[in-house]
A and B are shown apart, each in its own frame.
Chain A
Amino acid sequence: MSGVMWRPRGTRVSAGGARVGPRPGEVIDRAKPFSFSWEGASYRAFEGDTIASALVASGVRVISRSFKYHRPRGIMTASYHDPGCTVQVDDEPNVRGAHRRVLPGMVVNSQNSWPSLRLDIFAANQVVAPFIGAGFYYKTFIKPQRLWPYYEKVLQRFAAGGRVDSESAHARYDKRYAHPEVLVAGGGPAGIAAALAAAEAGARVMLVEEEYELGGHLRWGGQEELDLLRQLRDAVAGQEGIEVLTNSAVTGRYDDNWIAVVQRNNPHVVERLIKARAKSLVVAPGLIERPYVFEGNDLPGVMLSTAARRLVNLYAVKPGMRAVVFTANDEGLAAADDLQSVGVDVVRVVDARSGGRLVRARGGRVLSAVDLGDGSSVECDLLVTAVGWTAPTLLTNMAGDRPIYAEHAARFVPGLNLPPNVLVTGGIAGDGSPDQLVAHGRATGTLAAATSGHGSPLELPALEPADHPSLFRSSTHGFVDFTEDISSKDIFAAAKEGYDSVELVKRYTTATMGQAQGKLETLNTVAVLAAATGRTIEETGTTVWRPPHVPISLGALAGRILEPVRYSPMQPWHESHRARPIVAGLWIRPEHYGDAAGEVRNVRENVGIIDVTPLGKLDLRGPDVPRLLNFLYVNKWSKLDIGAVRYGVMCNEDGVVLDDGVTGHLGPDRYFMSTTSSGAAAVYEWIEDWLQTAFLDWQVHVTPVTSAYASMNVAGPKSRELLSRVVSDVDLSPEAFAYMNVRTGTIAGIPECLMWRIGFTGELSFEIHVPAGYGLEVWEALMDEGRDLGVGAFGLEAQRIMRLEKGHFIVGQDTDAVTQAYRAGLDWLVKLDKDDFVGKPELVWESQREGASRLVGLQPIDPNVVPPEASQIVSGASKIEGRITSSRYSPTLGRSICLGIVSGHLVAPGTVVTIQLPDGALVAAKVMEHHAHFDHEGTRLRG
């Protein structure tokens, strides 16, 4: 080929493709060829090919268009993080084409190009490139503001990334909890050796490797490496106690070795999140090769030495015909040898260690020539660079360690601040021959096993980072971040604009914020910024690596949906009687059975039953229960006869209303407390907090029994009549069983039921609590017995109407996070002469304040206007005086009724206030004397 005038044309090298004869370490299976589709055309591949290797084998050079400038890009690293190989596979966007194995029939398309990869109209971005430098969106598209919707549409077109198909079938995701004793992150020679040593010592080992098979860089090495690889793989296969996860990655290390692993090699689950608690973590991710910054460094045909070696040795692919190799280390020379061995014409090997310099690469769509420091230009279609390495220190950083810049090695390395159960081995610790890496890995494995309680540790051999020349940028400007299209010129510009801290530069330019999240970009960004600001790399510092180490799908993070639902035992009856369900916390409850107003009328005229099982219920026993009640409620509890019941309100230490309910004295040292449904769990914990951390000597035992009892409220003038038909061992007459009393007895044959005479709805009513297993039976018995009395079920909506008619507030609806007891209208309940209770001293101070806003009853002047809850109460042009907290149309009164908060100067009964409806209309309402709009003396209750 030499001596012939030669130019690369189009996107194909030759019709025959670039696949060469068998390589000793190849991972492709030539006995299994198949076809797949790329950009609508059919291409060949072998089992084991990645999408990118199959394309390069067919001579495809342009695989994607870059984010901002839509520059043509090809293979560059041939690894997971390759910035030029992100493609759409079927309906899956953003697939890492240089990692993902191609499958028969796979449909692959490019992303971020329109109308096609070849003729990408947005390549016109390159023309306006001077105007869309880093941070351009902070400076453009700002004015005129009215054009923002248009700017958005324009910018959307430019947004990178693949296509999400909303019709995609739901995939299956799963979570798993694991407890390995030793978790090894990285399956290269050191990681494998660590896993083997730990397992030999008796530890349970999990070995996680990003690639589809173990081996790391041994896989594309020479015969010596391949022999060692086979040995290690055989040893792992024969060793008990090692769980190997390939095509998986550790995404983060959290406190106490809580480790997240994304597993992709389980055939039944697309992606699985494993949450592992490991006793020891061995960090062995190897080293990631660093790109060189120079003009033209993103041209298809420019790639790293490890890319060339992977393509040649793993996939038997010739990456080009005529190559220049620019290297600062021996790995670059090895790449040159590998290329030559498959017939690539390596025309120049430029060694930086002996003064060689690379100035720029040139070409139109693809690489065509290279300019060197000695003034010469070389025509070629392949430029391989080998200028150094980056240690991926995410996991050690997350363990609390800050990386240190090792200038002699030209890279950051882990510091010395690791906890004893986090160890490093392999390339991230230092450089060495495969045998040296294995020896260090073994010793590290024994140390990890010993830390987890198995065996005794070997002494760690030395493994130090080797000297390496500092080579980051040539004399020209080039790309620093390939996926964000940020060049070194942008970083210089940012520094000039005053963004001279590395954290600011990162965010301002978005360098390191692309697909590789800094793995290919961070050190170059730091080096360029250091040069731009006249500082050393050490002085400039580095940004913080952040999890996840590799992308993880939202599906895997979400896992399976496990949302518990709580039903009362009477649920089957509700369902078969057309109850409309409403979600109340975790509970499903009946809102109504078709006619809430009708249910209200039936309760007030006959008898209704409502399922109130979610009501919080606490069994309190012990001689100190009255002390507890006195402390937690705002009123007094020392004198409550056995059989009597009292209403109580609990406040927080800031005097704000926390919960309300009724508590009854059931027997000697035995009380029963009810709370609001939504407060059930919180009040239980509130009580336990005081008993366990403040009043350790009080003798009180609390048992939450909310779900132990099915609860129902039998309400209406005929409720006593109905109950007497199913209760025979309790005297229900008004003389024997007065209002605000509790009895225990047998209902419909079920013993140990509680019956309370209380009344949220304002009617004569009995709240009964039945052992939960018999709830449905008792409910049905009541429905049966009460047929001739007109019994009917009523739901939450009817209950809300009736309680509002009676002016009973609902904590959290009529009160909020600043409603202290007096503001809620509880003057009559608060007993400030008690010694100490929760709410003192705030309530003392509240009682002394005058003119504060209060909760009042309100009735709109127009009886047919029902202001929506949360409507504001206003005065003047725009002054807010309060709001409507509860509002309904009352079937009993034939008019609208409300509760609301109003400013102090408006609380006098008879005051007319103005309510602003959501549509802006203003309506008048009158402040009432009481919260109750109906029967405020409670005569119906006490019958």
Chain B
Amino acid sequence: MILINCPNCGPRNSAEFAYFGETKPRPDANETDLAEWSHYLYMKRNPAGWTSEHWYHREGCRKFLVAERHTVTNEIRSTGTPGAGHGG
């Protein structure tokens, strides 16, 4: 299992976390249209490479973290507490 470096708890087995998906900006609900909103709900970038995603330390500190992970090698090059702009 991947080792995830929780900003609060340190390196922990990924089995302690819940995966919450790619980070993605939320369109303005009042200005959006069907195509843009559907894209937001259902489409993912899903690159074969670096991606930014949310994990939730469900069986630990119960904090969310943002990770940069390479989807092919599962290397995680950074983890951090979500800051402004990481909105999902």
Binding site for B on A (CB under 8 A): 254-256, 258, 277, 400, 653-654, 685, 688-689, 692-694, 696-697, 835-837, 840-842, 845
Contact = CB atoms under 8 A, between A and B. Distances in A.
Contact of A694 (B41, B73, B88): B88
A841 B82 CA distance: 26
A688 B1 CA distance: 25
Contact of A692 (B63, B73, B74): B63
Given A694-B88, A842-B37, A689 B29 contact: no
Interface in B50-77: 54, 56, 58, 62-64, 73-74
B82 A692 contact: yes
B20 interface: yes
A653 B88 contact: no
Given A256-B2, A841-B37, A836 B84 contact: no
B26 interface: yes
16 contacts: A256-B1, A258-B1, A400-B73, A688-B62, A689-B20, A689-B56, A689-B64, A692-B64, A692-B82, A693-B82, A694-B26, A836-B29, A836-B30, A837-B29, A840-B29, A840-B30
Contacts, number: 60
A685 B82 contact: no
Given A255-B2, A836-B28, 6 more contacts: A256-B3, A277-B3, A685-B18, A689-B54, A692-B64, A693-B87
Interface string B3-26: 100000000011000101001001
Q: Secondary structure of the B side of the interface?
A: loop
B47 interface: no
Nearest to B41: A654
A835 B30 contact: yes
A845 B32 CA distance: 11
Contacts of A277: 3, 13
A255 B74 CA distance: 8
Contact of B1 (A255, A697, A835, A841): A255
A693 B54 contact: yes
Contacts of B88: 689, 693-694
Interface residues of B, number: 31
> Which 3 A-B residue pairs are closest in the complex by CB-CB distance?
A256-B3, A840-B29, A692-B64
Given A688-B64, A845-B34, A254 B1 contact: yes
A580 to B, nearest CB: 33
A688 B54 CA distance: 12
Nearest to A695: B87
A566 to B, nearest CB: 17
Contacts of B3: 255-256, 258, 277
Contacts of A255: 1-3, 14, 74
A845 B29 CA distance: 12
A401 to B, nearest CB: 12
A694 B54 CA distance: 12
Contacts of A256: 1-3, 74
B29 A841 contact: yes
A804 B53 CA distance: 42
Contacts of A694: 26, 87-88
Nearest to B30: A836
Contacts of A653: 40-41
Contacts of A400: 73
Interface in B27-48: 28-30, 32, 34, 37, 40-41
B49 to A, nearest CB: 15
Contacts of A842: 37
Contact of A696 (B30, B32, B62, B82): B82
A808 to B, nearest CB: 29
A841 B29 CA distance: 5
A696 B1 contact: no
Nearest to A840: B29
Nearest to B18: A685
Contacts of B87: 693-694
A836 B2 CA distance: 37
Nearest to A256: B3
B56 A685 contact: yes
A871 to B, nearest CB: 32
A314 to B, nearest CB: 39
Nearest to A254: B1
B24 to A, nearest CB: 11
Contacts of B62: 688
A696 B62 CA distance: 15
A841 B32 contact: yes
A845 B14 CA distance: 39
Contacts of B18: 685
B55 to A, nearest CB: 11
B33 to A, nearest CB: 8
A697 B3 CA distance: 30
Contacts of B74: 255-256
A841 B73 CA distance: 38
A693 B25 CA distance: 11
Question: Of B20, B37, B63, which is in contact with the most chain A CB atoms at under 10 Å from its CB?
Answer: B37
Contacts of B32: 841
A544 B32 CA distance: 47
B29 A685 contact: no
Contacts of B29: 836-837, 840-841
Contacts of B83: 696
Contacts of A685: 18, 56, 58
A689 B87 CA distance: 10
Nearest to B73: A400
A653 B40 CA distance: 10
Contacts of B20: 689
Contacts of B1: 254-256, 258
A370 B28 CA distance: 82
Contacts of A841: 29-30, 32, 37
Contacts of A693: 23, 54, 64, 82, 86-88
Contacts of B37: 841-842
A837 B18 CA distance: 25
B32 to A, nearest CB: 6
Contacts of A689: 20, 54, 56, 64, 88
A52 B73 CA distance: 43
Nearest to B34: A845
A693 B67 CA distance: 13
A563 B40 CA distance: 38
Nearest to B87: A694
A827 to B, nearest CB: 20
Contacts of A692: 63-64, 82
A360 B57 CA distance: 63
Question: Of A256, A258, A693, A835, which is in contact with the most chain B CB atoms at under 10 Å from its CB?
Answer: A693
A653 B30 CA distance: 13
A258 B12 CA distance: 12
A255 B11 CA distance: 13
A842 B40 CA distance: 12
Contacts of B56: 685, 688-689
A842 B63 CA distance: 29
A258 B13 CA distance: 9
Nearest to A696: B84
